Amino acid sequence: MTEVAAPVPSRVVLNQGDIDRALTRIAHEILEANKGSKDLVLLGIPRRGYPLAVRLANKIAAADPAVDAAGIVGQLDVTMFRDDLSRQPARPPYPTKLPKSGIDNKVVVLIDDVLYSGRTIRAALDAIVDLGRPRIVRLAVLVDRGHRELPIRADHVGKNLPTASSEKVRVHLEELDTVDGAPVNEVVIEAGA
């Protein structure tokens, strides 16, 4: 007789409206910190950081009509710069795509969904060094759950979410995820095993 695993209990901590409000606030914080949109580049870290970067670029363009949202957003794959490759399941790298303006002497804002240990961001900083020399690098995340292993801090945070190390934070974005066949935007915490 095969034992069926019980479903992992989860709770929604951010719904679609919460995510949208957090991204609107982050977009305005980025503009304020940068004193406008001059020399701004948003680099999303795959998988969920890139759609968040696109959403933020659109919100920045809505606040500053001089901004071409597609012209300031890019994707930065960090797979080959990770220090935990041997512990992670194998996956093909995503393409790194920079805006036409590049990143030299730009204000680069790295975008990711969840900040946890800081290792993904450390890898992103290493990847940036191979691509150019930005004037400033900042970090924006939808969720900061703590438990840092490296001295890395986000400049812009949608929600600080204290969690237990055993819990998992899952971000579902309609660009990539469906729940029960329907696209969904939410952040859930799943209980640890």
The answer to whether the CB of 6 falls within 8 A of the CB of 39 is no
88 part of a folded domain: no
173 within some domain: no
Cα dihedral sign, 48-56-69-125: negative
| Percent of the chain scoring above 70 in pLDDT | 95
Residue 89 included in any domain: no
Residue 187 vs residue 182, higher pLDDT? 187
**Residue 187 counted as domain residue:** no
The domain total for the chain is 1
| Residue 4 confidence (pLDDT) above 80 | no
| Tokens at 166, concatenated | 């055993």
Kindly state the DSSP code that residue 97 receives in the 8-state scheme.
B
Show the tokens assigned to 13: 């901590």
What distance in Å separates the CA atoms of residue 71 and residue 42, rounded to the nearest whole number? 10
pLDDT at 193 over 60: no
158 found inside a domain: yes
Comparison of pLDDT for 149 and 84, the residue scoring more: 149
Tokens for 118?
Answer: 């800081």
List the CATH number of the domain containing 107.
3.40.50.2020
In a domain, 178, yes or no: no
Residue 86 has pLDDT above 90, yes or no: no
Query: Which residue would you say has higher pLDDT here, 179 or 167?
Result: 167
**Is the pLDDT assigned to residue 62 strictly greater than 70?**
yes
d(CA 90, CA 145): 25
- Residue 42 covered by a domain: yes
**What's residue 92's pLDDT?**
82
pTM of the model: 0.93
Q: Would you say residue 126 lies in a domain?
A: yes
Boundaries of domain holding 99: 18-83+94-164
**30-39 long-range contacts, CB within 8 A, separation 24+:** 30/56, 30/60, 30/109, 30/138, 30/140, 30/156, 31/60, 31/63, 31/64, 33/138, 33/155, 33/156, 34/107, 36/64, 37/64, 37/66, 37/67, 37/72, 39/105, 39/106, 39/107, 39/135
Q: Which residues lie closer than 8 Å to 85 by C-beta, 6 or more apart?
A: 79
Residue 193: what residue type?
A
Closest CA to 152 of 45, 57, 50: 45
Backbone angles phi and psi of 129, in degrees to 5 = -60, -35
Query: Using one digit for the tens of pLDDT, what is the confidence trace for 106-130?
Result: 999 999 999 999 999 999 999 999 9
Amino acid found at 27:
A
Distance CA 26, CA 49 (A): 14
Residue-level pLDDT at 186: 94
